[in-house]
Amino acid sequence: MTELFAVWWLMPLFAGMLLAISAGPLGSFVVWRKMAFFGDTLAHGALLGITFGVLADLNPTFAIILGSVSLALVLLPLQYASRLSADTLLGIVSHGTLAIGLVALSLADGVRVDLMGYLFGDLLAINEEHVLWLLASTALTLLLISVFWNALLAVTVSPELAKIEGRRVAMLDLMLIILLAFTVALAMKVVGILLISALLIIPPAAAHSLSRSPQQMAIVASLIGVISVALGMWASFYWDTPAGPSIVVAAMGLFGLSLLVQRKN
Amino acid sequence: MLKLSDGRMSNTLLLKANNLSLSFRQKKVLDDISLEIHTGKIITFIGPNGCGKSTLTKVLLGLQKTHAGKITRKRNLRVGYMPQKLQLDERLPLTVRGFLRLTHGCNHNEIDGWLERLNIKPLTNSSVHNLSGGEWQRVLLARALLVKPELLVLDEPVQGVDVQGQLELYQLIPQLRDELGCAVVMVSHDLHLVMAATDEVICLNGHVCCSGHPDTVSADPAYLELFGRKLNSPIAHYTHHHDHEHCSADHAHGDHQHD
């Protein structure tokens, strides 16, 4: 695969774009279902995954995914718990796992982990293995979301109506959460734990004013994400700024532009 | 075990509920409720706010579990449900047609027919966020009809609809019942509005206060006790009777048009 990426910056660019492509439709669902905080929590859980991965000597990417997916499964019932204050509970779990992860990492003897890399991303240091993970996860995400598009959208619009009409609401919710957990886990290397939600939310928000249907919004969000990655990486080379935050700044810029377009219409 | 026959006989038993009870935080919301729903019949649940109408509907739909009692449904019963309220996220760009296409198992070719029938054809490509209350209610009704229901459940179908629209909708419901050969369960807070359109009224206040033909119910002492006697205007809203011993009202499930 190395020959494919003869120019050294092609691999990170490719990785960032893959992530942006799956973040488009997934992020749209996150926006529609008001799950932004949920994505943050999954990212924080992924950090805890790294700690356990280091202690148990697991493959780090696998450990991150494991951490994020298991947290997703634990938090799944929260979606239905309307009487509990889900917001507060998510906040506790989210920041709790982040803190526990940081504390555990510092306690783990003789372990050197690039904490800044996980918090803010380290796109330029991305390796082939990570790209392969991203490729697999993006393919799976696009496949499942397009096959179950109508069902996922129906459950998003009204779980009650979907259930009465005979859709398998719990199964669909689970699928979306697991795909989200995968993407969040793999996004860590690209934009970092602290900025993952930005990559999920800003492109769909920018796409919203340009779209007339949910399908359009998901696709335009992917495109805006891809452009943000390209712009952000370019800026990062040109001004020597960190890649992850530069990508988010680029996405913010595009969001601003989308607001101008909206005003015109 | 209840034997439920298939087919479209005029008196098929679609759903039978036995001794349903449900409490939220020690407050009895449903108290020993039993009822039967037969094809071709229009049943209206009526009662003051917070006294179990919407909850009972959710229980019958299978959206809410009970603590006691049993519900038997006809096998593969197709239910169309028009919720009292459905709020969509503003960031979801959806047209009326796009919304109706989400109906599980619906034939997309039937969408236009129902839009025409319900007089909302011009709204086909409008955003669902730009509709008036009455228009949105009709769209929700169209979605319920698209499943070809054997049982049509309408929770406060005229909410947010002007008086003219209310009369039209209540004329439409018996027509739809005849066309589809289905049963209809309606939730209403005003008996006078639904009187002409209903075969049976079940007056709820946690328990079944009284039930039967609308004329019988409107003369029933239990009904008058519950709603007071100020019911002479044809579209008068009932007076909420706070003294009634059962109506310490759990207002937590969405009934909120207090008068």
Does the pLDDT of residue A265 top 60, yes or no? no
- Mean pLDDT of all residues in A30-50: 85
Set of chain B residues whose Cβ sits within 8 Å of the Cβ of A165 = 103-105, 147
The phi-psi region of residue A23 (left if phi > 0; otherwise alpha if psi is between -120 and 50; otherwise beta) is: alpha
Lowest mean pLDDT among A58-62, A162-166, A232-236, B158-162: B158-162
Residue B233 has pLDDT above 60, yes or no: no
pLDDT score recorded for residue B151: 93
**Which residues of B are less than 8 Å from A172 in CB distance?**
none
Does B200 reside within a domain?
A: yes
In three-state secondary structure terms, A90 is: helix
Report how many domains make up chain B: 1
Question: Tell me, what's the pLDDT at A258?
Answer: 92
Q: What percent of chain A has pLDDT above 90?
A: 45
Q: Give me the percent of chain B exceeding a pLDDT of 70.
A: 84
Tell me which residue of B24, B52, B31, B57 sits closest to A83, measured CA to CA. B24
Amino acid in position A253: G
- Which of B54, B61, B92 would you mutate first to test chain A, the one with the most A CBs within 10 A? B92
Residue contact A160–B81, C-beta within 8 A:
yes
CATH number reported for the structural domain that contains residue B196 in this entry: 3.40.50.300
Per-residue pLDDT tens for B13-69? 888 888 888 888 778 888 888 888 989 899 998 887 777 888 888 898 888 888 888
Residue A86's pLDDT is 67
Number of inter-chain CB pairs under 8 A, A vs B? 63
* Residue B237 pLDDT level (bands cut at 50, 70, 90): very low
Residues belonging to chain B with any Cβ–Cβ distance to chain A shorter than 8 Å: 61-63, 79, 81, 83, 86, 88-89, 91-95, 98-99, 101-105, 143, 147
Name residue A257's amino acid.
L
Shortest Cα distance, chain B CAs vs residue A95, angstroms: 27
Residue-level pLDDT at A111: 64
Sequence-distant (≥ 6) Cβ neighbours of residue B153 within 8 angstroms: B57, B60, B61, B79, B80, B81, B82, B144, B184, B185, B186
The per-residue pLDDT for B147 is 92
Contacts of B147 (CB under 8 A, 6+ apart): A165, B78, B79, B80, B103, B104, B105, B106
Task: Answer for the pair A213, B93: CB distance below 8 angstroms, yes or no.
Answer: yes
A78-92, A157-171, B103-117: least confident range = A78-92
**Interface contact flag, A214 B92, Cβ < 8 Å:** yes
Please name the residue that has the structure tokens 């289905």. B182
- So what's the pLDDT on residue B7? 43
Q: Span A199-210, mean pLDDT? A: 93
Summarize pLDDT for B243-258 with one digit per residue, the tens.
Answer: 444 433 444 444 444 4
pLDDT at B224: 76
> What rounded mean pLDDT belongs to chain B?
79
Q: Choose between A21 and A50: higher pLDDT.
A: A21
**Residue of B63, B95, B104 with shortest CB distance to A160:** B63
> Residue B82 pLDDT more than 90?
yes
Q: Is B21 exposed, middle or buried (0-12, 13-18, 19+ CB in 10 A)?
A: middle
pLDDT at B150: 92
More confident residue, A106 or A5: A106
* DSSP conformation letters of A2-66: GGGG-STTHHHHHHHHHHHHHHHHHHHHHHHTT-HHHHHHHHHHHHHHHHHHHHTT--HHHHHHH
Q: Give pLDDT, residue B259.
A: 37
* Reported ipTM: 0.85
Q: What is the mean pLDDT of residues B76-100?
A: 90
- The answer to whether position B102 is within a domain reads no
Which residues of chain A does B103 touch, with a Cβ-Cβ cutoff of 8 Å? 154, 165
- Partner residue facing A211 (CB), from B89, B93, B104: B93
* Every domain of chain A and the residues it spans: 2-196
For residue B241, the model assigns a pLDDT of 47
B44 DSSP β-pair partners: B186, B201
Chain A positions in Cβ-Cβ contact with residue B55 (cut-off 8 Å) = none
Per CB-CB distance under 8 Å, the chain B contacts of A164 are: 61-63, 79, 81
Distance from CA of A208 to the nearest CA of B (A): 6
CATH architecture, domain A2-196: Orthogonal Bundle (1.10)
| pLDDT at residue B229 in the model | 54
CA of B82 vs chain A CAs: smallest distance (Å): 8
Mean pLDDT lowest among B66-75, B141-150, B226-235: B226-235
Q: Say yes or no to pLDDT of B235 above 80.
A: no
What is the rounded distance in angstroms from the CA atom of residue B157 to the CA atom of residue B154? Answer: 6
For residue B220, CA distances in Å to A188, B203, B229, B237 come to 67, 10, 11, 18
By C-alpha distance, the chain B residue nearest A201 is B91
Q: What was the pLDDT predicted at B10?
A: 59
Q: Which two tokens stand for residue B184?
A: 């209809």
Q: Specify which residues B42 forms β-bridges with.
A: B184
Indicate the pLDDT class of residue A82, thresholds 50, 70 and 90. Answer: low
Selection from A45-54, A233-242, B247-256 with the highest mean pLDDT: A233-242
Residue B234, domain extent: 13-78+149-253
Give the per-residue pLDDT at A19: 94
Which of A95-104, A133-142, B6-15 is the least confident region?
Answer: B6-15
Interchain CB distance below 8 Å, B93 and A160: no
- pLDDT, one tens digit per residue, over B166-218 is 888 888 888 999 999 899 999 887 777 777 778 888 888 878 888 778 777 77
pLDDT above 80: residue A182: yes
Tell me phi and psi for residue B229, to 5 degrees: -105, 5
